[in-house]
């Protein structure tokens, strides 16, 4: 309780000098409630808000029950609902009441997972826009694999997301890591998951065959649960911000060469996030390598084979990147097949052009132009093979993409 003299001083400062309650409390070293009690501010309460609040009172239980069933319902919709039930007030008292009673969804907690060495890898594609190749533009993709224990990174830029490129990048990553993790996490990309209904998953048979060859277990994450493979998601952002931004390159091969150097010099020199021992990624990878599964004696065949109908003289056009070439071959016996390994010129097998490079095939009296030959020399790979053939028997054509 304050003295009558202090109470009189407070009232004089408030009514005569027009000081605010907070200013009076700071000046006299009192609590705001003590000053407000001396001033009797309840006498000056704006009664304009009281009728509206009283008008809303009969509908508060209805609003509260409705929000429990529909927590995201907007105030304007609730206003329409209670106006149909006789409410005549404005929306503002309703908004203030909704802010007090709207149910707040439970925030999901995320914990950092600690993985054993060699136990898990994470894989995903990253989109990096498009690049100019010749007179056209091609989409640029980056395959990224991260070892969950050491955070070791492998990345490779490619021009497509075909299954063959997907598997070939896996094999190259295993060679770079000198081993295979026991499990690999994927999101629901088509190269890994063909169909998913709830927890029932149908994997791509080719991926299962590949996993059986390298002895790892493919594991897809749940739908819309990118946090379950946050290490590779963060690695793609790291690549985008720290490596790819404002980088100049002459070709995709030059870009991949710069990427390998950047990974060795910078990405693997950084500290492992959250590691109490402050180890670098390179040191953690050296500790993890003995725990990885050994590579098989022979690599998996990542080629694609396709059966096409052919006549006596088939005309086959191979769409290359960056340029395109064509070759016509008259087969004498057997079937013809076109092969193109990654980084090698296409080769035709079978018929009179057996074993000859596609750029030298003379069966149709045509050869590649200098531009196409230069594109093949830079490691252009066959993206797809189309056969424009007349009616006839069925022949087998194999393509390496």
Tens digit of each residue's pLDDT (9 = 90 or more) over 242-286: 999 999 999 999 999 999 999 999 999 999 988 888 999 999 999
Within a domain: residue 258?
yes
What is this structure's pTM?
0.58
In-domain check, residue 115? no
Q: 169 with 318, same domain? A: no
- Which segment, 49-63, 297-311, 335-349, is predicted with the most confidence on average? 49-63
Residue 228 token pair: 């379950």
pLDDT digits (tens, 9 = 90+) for 282-299: 999 999 999 999 999 999
Point out the least confidently predicted range of 38-42, 174-178, 282-286. Answer: 38-42
For residue 387, what pLDDT is reported? 38
The Cα–Cα gap between 217 and 74 comes to 46
55 shares its domain with 166: no
Question: What φ, ψ does residue 186 adopt, rounded to 5°?
Answer: -130, 155
Residues 223 and 366 in one domain: no
Residue-level pLDDT at 187: 82
- Is 113 part of a structural domain of the chain? no
Which own/partner pairs from 109-115 qualify as long-range (CB within 8 Å, at least 24 positions apart)? 110/227, 112/274, 113/148, 115/148, 115/149
Domain match, 24 and 143 both:
no
Please give the share of the chain, as a percent, with pLDDT higher than 90: 39
Strand 120-133 with 183-186, pairing: parallel
If you ran DSSP here, which 8-state letter would residue 350 be given? S
Q: Which of 110-119, 306-315, 377-386 has the highest mean pLDDT?
A: 110-119
Let me know: does 330 contact 390? Beta carbons within 8 Å.
Answer: no
Instruction: Check whether 334 has a pLDDT greater than 70.
Output: no
State whether 377 and 392 are in the same domain. Answer: yes
54 with 132, same domain: the answer is no
pLDDT of residue 160 exceeding 70: yes
Say if 297 falls within a structural domain.
no
Give domain status of residue 298, yes or no: no
- For the chain, the distance separating the N- and C-terminal CA atoms, rounded to the nearest angstrom, is 89
Is it the case that residue 93 has pLDDT exceeding 50?
yes
> Do residues 159 and 383 make contact, with C-beta atoms less than 8 angstroms apart?
yes
Buried/exposed code over 165-191 (b: 16+ C-beta within 10 A; e: otherwise):
bbbbbbbbbbebbebbbbbbbbbbeeb
Whether the CB-CB separation of 203 and 194 falls below 8 Å is answered with yes
Average pLDDT over residues 77-85: 91
Q: What pLDDT was estimated at residue 261?
A: 95
Span of 44-53, 337-346, 355-364 with lowest mean pLDDT:
355-364
Does one domain contain both 165 and 255? yes
Report the mean per-residue pLDDT for the chain: 77
Give the confidence band of 17 by pLDDT, cuts at 50, 70, 90.
Answer: confident
Confidence band, pLDDT 50/70/90 cuts, at residue 315: low
Q: How many domains does the chain have?
A: 4
> Same structural domain for residues 85 and 129?
no
Separation in Å, CA 397 to CA 35, 151, 303, 393? 93, 41, 11, 13
Please state the rounded mean pLDDT for residues 297-308.
76
> Are 258 and 369 found together in one domain?
no
**Within a domain: residue 26?**
yes
Q: What is the mean pLDDT of residues 188-207?
A: 80
User: Do 66 and 190 have their domain in common?
Assistant: no
Residue 356 has pLDDT above 70, yes or no: no
Q: Please indicate, yes or no, whether residues 126 and 271 belong to a single structural domain of this protein.
A: yes
Helix, strand, or coil (residue 25):
helix
Residues 322 and 227 in one domain: no
Residue 107, in any domain of the structure: no
Cα 135 from Cα 137, distance rounded (Å): 7
**Does residue 192 form part of some domain?**
yes
Is the CB of residue 337 less than 8 Å from the CB of residue 350? Answer: yes
Domain around 32: 4-44
Q: Does 51 score more than 90 pLDDT?
A: no
Mean pLDDT within 176-190 = 90
Residue 122 above 60 pLDDT?
yes
């Amino acid at each position: 309780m304050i003295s009558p003299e202090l109470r009189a001083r407070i009232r004089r400062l408030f009514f005569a000098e027009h000081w605010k309650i907070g200013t009076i409390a700071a000046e006299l070293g009192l609590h705001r409630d003590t000053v407000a009690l001396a001033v009797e501010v309840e006498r000056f309460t704006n009664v304009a808000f009281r009728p509206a609040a009283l008008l809303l009172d009969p509908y508060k239980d209805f609003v509260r029950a409705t929000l429990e069933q529909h927590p995201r319902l907007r105030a304007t919709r609730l206003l329409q609902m209670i106006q149909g039930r006789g409410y005549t007030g404005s929306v503002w008292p309703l908004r203030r009441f909704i802010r007090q009673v709207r149910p707040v969804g439970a925030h999901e907690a995320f914990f950092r997972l600690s993985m054993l060495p060699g136990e898990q890898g994470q894989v995903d594609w990253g989109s990096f826009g498009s690049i100019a190749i010749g007179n056209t533009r091609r989409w640029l993709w980056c395959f990224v694999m991260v070892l969950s224990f050491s955070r070791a990174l492998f990345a490779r830029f490619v021009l497509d997301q075909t299954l063959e490129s997907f598997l070939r990048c896996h094999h190259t990553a295993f060679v770079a890591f000198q081993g295979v993790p026991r499990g690999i996490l994927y999101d629901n990309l088509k190269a890994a998951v063909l169909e998913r209904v709830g927890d029932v998953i149908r994997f791509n048979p080719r991926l299962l065959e590949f996993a059986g060859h390298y002895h790892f277990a493919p594991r897809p994450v749940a739908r819309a649960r990118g946090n379950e493979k946050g290490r590779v998601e963060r690695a793609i952002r790291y690549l985008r911000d720290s490596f790819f931004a404002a980088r100049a390159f002459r070709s995709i091969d030059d870009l991949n060469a710069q990427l390998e150097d950047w990974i060795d010099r910078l990405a693997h020199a950084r500290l492992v996030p959250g590691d109490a021992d402050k180890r670098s990624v390179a040191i953690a990878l050296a500790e993890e390598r003995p725990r990885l599964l050994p590579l098989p004696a022979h690599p998996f065949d990542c080629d694609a084979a396709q059966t096409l109908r052919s006549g006596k003289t088939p005309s086959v056009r191979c769409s290359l990147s960056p340029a395109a070439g064509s070759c016509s071959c008259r087969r004498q016996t057997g079937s013809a097949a076109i092969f193109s390994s990654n980084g090698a010129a296409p080769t035709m097998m079978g018929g009179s052009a057996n074993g000859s490079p596609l750029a030298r095939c003379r069966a149709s009296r045509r050869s590649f132009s200098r531009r196409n030959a230069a594109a093949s020399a830079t490691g252009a790979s066959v993206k797809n093979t189309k056969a424009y053939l007349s009616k006839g028997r069925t022949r087998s054509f194999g393509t390496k993409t």
